[in-house]
């Protein structure tokens, strides 16, 4: 019975196995990136960057058709251009980083919509640009797995600096010249994971798999490593449960996955042990002592 509900779909259908592998790989990469976005109060940066990628992916499609490398490279270039230029403007001028990012991503988004519209009174390019998790081919899975691997290795390498940037960016800047490179590497990871997610989740919902697990994990622990682990578990749970929901109830898979992660997030906000609605109302033993 439970086997039928949970495991049989994956044994019976190759596309379900591919979707599962794709989502698992994606979750491993997006969860830690999401946690650092959250801790650095940059949660909306993910959303902004997701839009910033659009014109690059669109150009890639226009040049090379439905080609994974062209669309990936295009998205990467556009995303990095926005990340680097907004970071540079923030450091060189009076404009704060959030404002300069907003400016550049809006420019990029407008360019993307323009490209899409000029090309496509034709096929709805947005549908073509963003794949669906049910149609992952080998190349897309390899791309997502490579991005996840790269993300984990990179985060391990710059972990200490990243944590310090979260806690006290001024301090890091004063004791080390690593601040700027770390920041850019981190933005690179954000862009890479968003691109991997586009191929898997379709539309802009990949941002959900980045932010929602991190936001949920925030209510379970205050320790960063544990938070990353919990975020990964939430993302993995959302992926598996969402796919099964999509399978058994015939719901579109992308939204199903994100909504499960969202439900876990809301439940954590209400009843998680750290800083949730419930936790705030309970008496705090360590203050009584």
- Minimum Å gap between C-beta 65 and another protein is 11
Spatial distance between the Cα atoms of 232 and 240, rounded to a whole number of angstroms: 12
How many Cβ atoms are within 10 Å of 154's Cβ, its own excluded?
19
How many Cβ atoms are within 10 Å of 62's Cβ, its own excluded?
17
- Minimum Å gap between C-beta 64 and another protein is 15
DSSP collapsed to 3 states, 77-114:
HHHHHHHHHHHHHHHHCCCCHHHHHHHHHHHHHHHHHH
Shorter beta-carbon distance to another protein: residue 254 or 272: 254
Q: What angle do CA 19, 24, 27 make, to 5 degrees?
A: 120
Q: Would you tell me the crossing angle of helices 253-271 and 224-249 to the nearest 10 degrees? A: 130
- Minimum Å gap between C-beta 3 and another protein is 16
Shorter beta-carbon distance to another protein: residue 108 or 253: 253
Shorter beta-carbon distance to another protein: residue 121 or 174: 121
Shorter beta-carbon distance to another protein: residue 60 or 87: 60
Burial of 222 (0-12, 13-18, 19+ CB in 10 A): exposed
Torsion region of 275: left, alpha or beta (phi above 0 gives left; psi -120 to 50 gives alpha): left
Q: Which residues contact another protein by CB under 8 A?
A: 9, 12-16, 18-19, 66, 117, 120-124, 127-128, 131-132, 134-137, 202, 243, 246-256
DSSP 124: -
Spatial distance between the Cα atoms of 257 and 238, rounded to a whole number of angstroms: 5
- Minimum Å gap between C-beta 41 and another protein is 32
Spatial distance between the Cα atoms of 151 and 35, rounded to a whole number of angstroms: 13
- Minimum Å gap between C-beta 70 and another protein is 15
Is residue 36 within 8 A of residue 21, CB to CB? The reply is: no
- Minimum Å gap between C-beta 235 and another protein is 18
Spatial distance between the Cα atoms of 136 and 144, rounded to a whole number of angstroms: 10
Shorter beta-carbon distance to another protein: residue 121 or 170: 121
Shorter beta-carbon distance to another protein: residue 91 or 248: 248
Shorter beta-carbon distance to another protein: residue 83 or 129: 129
Shorter beta-carbon distance to another protein: residue 87 or 131: 131
Quick one: which of 93, 53, 50 has its CA closest to 73?
53
- Minimum Å gap between C-beta 240 and another protein is 12
- Minimum Å gap between C-beta 195 and another protein is 16
């Amino acid at each position: 019975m439970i086997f039928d509900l949970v495991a049989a779909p994956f044994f019976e259908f190759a596309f379900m196995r591919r979707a599962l592998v794709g989502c698992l790989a994606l979750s491993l990469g997006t969860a830690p990136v999401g946690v650092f976005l959250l801790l650095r109060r940059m949660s909306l940066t993910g959303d902004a960057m997701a839009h910033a990628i659009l014109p690059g992916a669109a150009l890639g499609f226009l040049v090379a058709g439905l080609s994974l490398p062209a669309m990936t490279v295009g998205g990467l270039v556009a995303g990095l251009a926005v990340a680097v230029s907004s970071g540079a403007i923030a450091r060189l001028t009076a404009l704060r980083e959030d404002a300069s990012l907003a400016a550049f991503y809006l420019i990029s988004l407008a360019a993307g919509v323009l490209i899409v519209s000029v090309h496509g009174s034709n096929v709805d390019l947005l549908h073509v640009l963003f794949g669906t998790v049910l149609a992952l081919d080998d190349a897309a899975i390899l791309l997502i797995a490579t991005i996840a691997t790269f993300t984990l290795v990179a985060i391990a390498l710059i972990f200490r600096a990243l944590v310090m940037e979260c806690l006290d960016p001024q301090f890091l800047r004063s004791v080390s010249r690593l601040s700027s490179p770390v920041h850019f590497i981190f933005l690179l990871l954000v862009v890479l994971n968003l691109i991997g997610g586009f191929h898997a989740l379709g539309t802009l919902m990949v941002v959900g798999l980045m932010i929602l697990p991190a936001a949920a994990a925030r209510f379970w622990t205050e320790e960063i490593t544990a938070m990353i682990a919990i975020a990964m578990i939430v993302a993995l749970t959302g992926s598996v449960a969402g796919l099964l929901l999509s399978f058994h109830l015939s719901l579109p898979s992308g939204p199903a996955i994100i909504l499960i992660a969202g439900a876990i997030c809301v439940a954590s906000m209400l009843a998680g042990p750290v800083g949730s609605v419930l936790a705030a109302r309970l008496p705090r033993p360590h203050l009584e002592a």
